[in-house]
Structure 1
Amino acid sequence: MAKIPVVDDLIKKNLHGLSVHYGRLVMKVYLRITLLVFGKASPYLIRGIYRSVTGNKEARIKEFLEGTKIWAEDVLKITKTKLIVFNQIDVPQKGHMIFLNHVNEMDFPYDCYVIRKPFLANQVIKKAWFAYWWMVAMGSQVFDNSKAMSVAVSVKNLIEGLKTTSYIVYPEGKNTYSEEILPLKKGMVKIAFDQKIPVFVALKSGVTTYQNYQKGNVVGYLGLGSHDPTDFSSWEEFQTYLYNLMHTKKLELDALTEQERTKLN
């Protein structure tokens, strides 16, 4: 992207000390969505709208999920990134929460590409109207935890949605801008435990490298299988188990990803 002082100042204010170069990359990646929607991804858009008009919800979701693959492939190309899935990630088709670490703005297209499932997002996504529209079209739900009543409605909608799909959840609750796994928030872990929703765990590594350089990156993914909350006596025990699992396996994934990065140098 061309250097525009006003834009660069805005980036500095909103990226919490991260480089302007990283901010420009994020803007480029997300601005390209519109170009792709009316370009290479337009067949998915057209078919998705048609499926929506004809009332075929599952087919509509499938089309929009497939459309996100075009975006991820575009990001891989413009950043010359090597994406590696180190084991077979068999994401359950329905009935599961998919716990995945959340790093920064660059992980969303890759999560769409590798996991290929809708998201259980917080209300912040509503501020990005186009991203919000596409996420809803691909079957994602917005979890409203602002009031007790809205939480109850969101849980009800989640249970209903799980009858036909599984949802990606970021249990750390925010962008970490770090390769370290942060403590998991109570909310989603407790809901999984209380509602007896099995949790499929996956991890990614290498996404923080975009914060330092914007081309020639290596990103790795690892699946850790499904975990049943009914095997635990409390949500706190389940939370501790999941955190320890993610923390330990993340170190292993970091080492594997670094080995692949070294091969490129």
Structure 2
Amino acid sequence: MGKLQFFVVLCYAIPVLVILFPIGLTFSYLFKITKLDRWSNRINNFLGYFWYRSFFILTGRKLDFSQGSWDPNGNNRFLICNHTNALEVPLIVSLPYLTKSKDVRLSYLGGDIIQRYKIIPLMMHKTIVEAVIYSEKKPNFRNFKTDVLRVLKTRSIFLYPEGERTFTEEIQPFQTGVMKIAYKFNIDIDVFVVSGFMGYSSLPKYQHLTKSKTIYFHYCGSILAKDYPTFEEYLAKAETLMKEKKQILETKEKTFILQN
């Protein structure tokens, strides 16, 4: 087992082995089906925060979180972030608690990997947050679009626009499918970026990240479809926001190592 794979297994063992998760998600599910959605959502948000905190404590990492001018209140938005490997997930789902906004309703979009989860706590969480599933093997764009617009009536949806884990700190080109939905239906997009997660790997080029033991999670800015005359300009702006912030963070990481 490689170093990065070990940390991924450790990370995803937490919601399976820690009794707080099955108990909490069971209560959350009961609140959900009895229409007490606010309390169900608060439990989910707390569990997300507990997951991130537990993993960072176990691995000796610290978080540099910058909310900037981001306003977490409101629905009908996409939240997007780069996707290096599976270790960003607990950080993303802890976003409501990180912003001290415990009632933020956050769903997420995922592909076939969600379908493959056989672990009851994770399956239950998928149901509770009304995750939107898109199958790459059997795509049905019409149903997918309908599900996205339905969920956006009550929640914001988090997604990775690169469409896959990249296993690199470099931001890859965005997939256009979901972004086209955002542009067509004037859905606001809030852009975030993470940096430093490849420090969990054993690759020599990321050893400086291993030494810094700092993970960065920063807000980059928001974009409105109505402000851009073409989809291409809209997509390019989202990519630019993420890449510019990532470059700033990488400079910060290198400066930290030189100073220490």
TM-score, structure 1 as length reference: 0.82
Superposition map of 1:84-233 within 5 A: 84-88=64-68, 89-114=70-95, 117-130=106-119, 131-144=122-135, 150-212=140-202, 217-233=213-229
Comparing 208-217 and 97-106, the one that deviates more: 208-217
User: 1: distance between equivalents of 2:58 and 2:155?
Assistant: 31
Is 2:212–2:256's contact at 8 Å kept on the other side of the alignment? no
SS of the residue corresponding to residue 76 of structure 2 reads coil
TM-score, structure 2 as length reference: 0.83
Post-superposition Cα deviations, 1:87-128, rounded to whole Å, max 9, x if no partner, equal 434334311001111110211111112356321111222112
Letter in 1 for 2:134: F
Query: May I ask how many residue pairs the two structures share in their alignment?
Result: 243
Task: Report percent identity of matched pairs.
Answer: 21
Letter in 2 for 1:107: E
Name the counterpart of 2:233: 237
Structure 2's unaligned 5+ residue stretches are: 98-105
Q: CA RMSD in A?
A: 2.4
Structure 1's unaligned 5+ residue stretches are: 1-7, 9-19
Alignment counterpart, residue 66 of structure 1, candidates 42, 46, 50: 46
Q: Which runs of 4+ in 1 moved over 6 A?
A: 213-216
Comparing 222-231 and 253-262, the one that deviates more: 253-262
Comparing 26-35 and 51-60, the one that deviates more: 51-60
Name the counterpart of 2:35: 55
SS of the residue corresponding to residue 80 of structure 2 reads strand
User: 2: distance between equivalents of 1:259 and 1:43?
Assistant: 44
